[in-house]
Amino acid sequence: MTGLPAPPPSPPTRRQGFQPGRLLFGLIVVAVGMGWLLQAFDVTEVPWDVILPSVLILIGVVLVATAGWGGGQGGLITLGIVLTVVLLAGTVVDVPFRGGVGDRTYTPVTATGRTYELAVGNLTLDLTDSGLPTPVPSRIGIEAHVGVGQLLVIVPASFVSVDVHAKAGIGQTNVFGRTQSGFGVDYRSQGTNDSAPLLHLELSVGIGQVEVRRV
């Protein structure tokens, strides 16, 4: 009785080679996450305006160097696209990478000149319970800036004269119902000094929406 032919030998298992792109992607995710965490807990102020362009350059170098290696670099490419969009918005609007991450609401008791900043998230500035300083100035200037997210300013009817300068690198501005959308949005509304004080709002968002609402 003739025996059955022996099965062909199994092909040797190929070990996946070293993937510098994946390693770099992992390191970047860990580093950025640690940076956001440290800044969110006010441990230190991270210089994102320097770090993000440097990371984008490093991604480009690795992609060029490993172009002939094969293998997926989807994660690294996606990260590079996201950073490019953020930095592109920063060429139109001064995108703040300060102020932390999350949702913040400020309800100042007295309307005085001050700057509010948030890196990523929703920032709400509610002026409905804000009184006027003594003596009453002819002009009150308030600034608020968000990197990525939404900026909402609620203005009470007691401020009769309001002057708004709202900018969005990529996104939308909605000032008292007047909406503009697109890239490099720059909206200005002129108030008058007929009823003091004149409230001047200097508002911007890198990517997202600026809204000014009256109640």
Say if strands 139-155 and 161-175 run parallel, antiparallel, or are unpaired: unpaired
At residue 111's C-alpha, the angle toward residues 157 and 132, to 5°, is: 75
For 182-188, which contacts have Cβ atoms below 8 Å and span 24 or more sequence positions? 183/92, 184/92, 188/164
At residue 120's C-alpha, the angle toward residues 185 and 151, to 5°, is: 50
Looking at residue 46, its pLDDT comes to 67
Between 69 and 181, whose confidence is greater? 181
In what helix (H) or strand (E) does residue 50 lie, and over which residues does it extend? helix 48-65
* CB contact set of 78 (below 8 Å; sequence gap of 6+): none
142-155 residue pLDDT tens: 999 998 899 999 99
- Name, of 60-74, 99-113, 178-192, 198-212, the range with top average pLDDT: 198-212
- Stretch 96-103: mean pLDDT, rounded? 74
Looking at residue 192, its pLDDT comes to 61
- Using pLDDT thresholds of 50, 70 and 90, give the confidence band for residue 32: confident
| 3-state SS, one letter per residue, for 4-46 | CCCCCCCCCCCCCCCCHHHHHHHHHHHHHHHHHHHHHCCCCCC
Q: Is the pLDDT of residue 104 over 60?
A: yes
162-197 residue pLDDT tens: 999 999 988 999 999 999 998 889 999 876 656 668
161-170 residue pLDDT tens: 899 999 998 8
Closest CA to 210 of 107, 97, 123, 88: 123
113-131 residue pLDDT tens: 889 998 888 999 999 998 8
Nearest-angstrom CA–CA distance, 27 and 138: 52
Between 116 and 99, whose confidence is greater? 116
Angle between helix 20-40 and helix 48-65 axes, rounded to 10 deg: 170
